[in-house]
Structure 1
Amino acid sequence: MNTLDQISRTVENQKHTVISALVPLELALLNFKPASDSWSILECLEHLNRYSRYYNPALAKAITANSGNNSQQSISYSWLGKKSLDMVRPDNSKKSKTVRHMNPNNSQLSRQTLEEFLDHQTELLQLLNKAKNTNLNKKAIPVEFFKLLKLRIGEALEFMALHQERHLQQALQVKKQLPVNQAAA
Structure 2
Amino acid sequence: MESAADFLADLARRTQALQVTLATELRPQSEAVLNHRPAPGSWSALECLEHLNRYGRHYLPALRQALARPARPAHRLAPVRFSWLGRKSYELVRPENAQPHRTLPRMNPVSSLLSAAAVVAELENQLVELARLIRTAPASDLNRKAVPVEFLRLLKLRNGEALLFVVAHAQRHLAQATRAAGAGRAAVCLPA
Work out which of the residue numbers 64, 68, 89 in structure 2 matches 1:64.
68
Q: CA deviation at 1:173?
A: 1.1
Q: What whole-Å deviation, never above 9, does each CA across 1:105-149 have from its counterpart, x for those lacking one?
A: 121111100000000000001100110111100000010110111
Q: CA deviation at 1:176?
A: 2.1
What residue number does 1:147 align with? 153
1:122 has 2:128 as partner: yes
TM-score (norm 2): 0.91
The one-letter code matched in structure 2 to 1:89 is R
Q: Which runs of 5+ in 2 are unaligned?
A: none
What residue number does 2:34 align with? 30
What residue number does 1:52 align with? 56
CA distance in 2, matches of 1:49, 1:157: 15
What residue number does 1:171 align with? 177
Residues 52 and 123 in structure 2, CA contact (< 8 A), matched pair in contact too: yes
Cα distance 1:20–1:179, how it changes in 2: closer, same or farther (>3 A)? closer
Q: Which has the larger displacement, 171-180 or 1-10?
A: 171-180
Cα distance 1:135–1:179, how it changes in 2: closer, same or farther (>3 A)? closer
CA distance in 1, matches of 2:187, 2:124: 28
**RMSD of equivalent CA atoms:** 1.6
The one-letter code matched in structure 2 to 1:176 is G
Q: Which runs of 5+ in 1 are unaligned?
A: none
Counting only pairs closer than 5 Å after superposition, residues 131-146 of structure 1 correspond to structure 2 as: 131-146=137-152
Cα distance 1:3–1:105, how it changes in 2: closer, same or farther (>3 A)? same
Q: What whole-Å deviation, never above 9, does each CA across 1:65-114 have from its counterpart, x for those lacking one?
A: 24452313421000000000000011112111100100001211111000
The one-letter code matched in structure 2 to 1:127 is L
The one-letter code matched in structure 2 to 1:90 is P
Aligned length: 184
Q: Could you tell me the percent identity over the aligned residues?
A: 41
Q: CA deviation at 1:36?
A: 3.2
What residue number does 1:21 align with? 25
CA distance in 2, matches of 1:181, 1:81: 39
Residues 32 and 188 in structure 2, CA contact (< 8 A), matched pair in contact too: no
Residues 72 and 137 in structure 1, CA contact (< 8 A), matched pair in contact too: no
